[in-house]
């Protein structure tokens, strides 16, 4: 099940971030997982707004507009995930670390680096990681989102939100 999603209302231009409220999805979520999702979806909102909000379009020729339209269609959720994994993953991890430190957590940087991949497991960048890294990252994400990796010795480091 999807944890959250970001969409643009084509009639109003509003960017809408929706969070899944199904208890099966959020019942055991930690604050670190939720903060990661909020940051991840905020990047989607930024990319969507940046891409669609272009005042120069009024002066474009038809071929330029066609090319722009084609790129818009290609700038799907998957393409945005590739962009986040390639261009934002380090900043995303640093922001999550900053959040954790503000909450008083004293965690290894690797935990923040790993949870930053939440929502990006289908990207080429993730797939190109070593199997050891992919396993560690997936375990961390599952622990923070669902509290389900205790059998592997991976426990939630954030505080369960009790949603």
Closest CA to 37 of 55, 17, 51: 17
Decide which of 96 and 56 is more confident: 96
Which of 7-11, 63-67, 143-147, 156-160 bottoms out in mean pLDDT, i.e. has the lowest? 63-67
Q: Mean of the pLDDT values across residues 140-148?
A: 93
- 100 DSSP 8-state letter: H
Q: Mean of the pLDDT values across residues 92-115?
A: 98
Predicted confidence at residue 74, as pLDDT, reads 46
Element of type H or E holding 7: strand 4-8
For the chain, the domains span 4-152
For the whole model, what pTM was predicted? Answer: 0.82
How do residues 74-91 score in pLDDT, each as one tens digit?
467 888 899 899 999 999
Give residue 125's region: left, alpha or beta (phi > 0; psi -120 to 50): alpha
Closest CA to 92 of 121, 114, 108, 75: 114
């Amino acid at each position: 099940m999807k944890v959250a999603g970001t969409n643009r209302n084509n009639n109003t231009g509003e960017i809408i971030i929706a969070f899944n409220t199904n208890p099966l999805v959020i019942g055991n979520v930690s604050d670190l997982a939720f903060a990661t999702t909020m940051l991840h979806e905020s990047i989607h909102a930024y990319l969507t707004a940046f891409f669609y909000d272009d005042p120069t379009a009024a002066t474009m020729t038809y071929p330029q507009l066609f090319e722009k339209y084609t790129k818009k269609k290609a700038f799907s959720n998957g393409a945005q995930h590739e962009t986040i994994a390639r261009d934002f993953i380090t900043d995303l991890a640093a922001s999550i670390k900053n959040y954790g430190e503000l909450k008083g957590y004293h965690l290894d940087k690797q935990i923040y680096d790993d949870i930053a991949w939440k929502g990006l497991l289908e990207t080429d960048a993730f797939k190109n990681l070593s199997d050891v890294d992919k396993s560690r990252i997936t375990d961390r994400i599952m622990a923070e989102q669902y509290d389900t990796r205790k059998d592997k010795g991976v426990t939630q480091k954030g505080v369960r939100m009790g949603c």
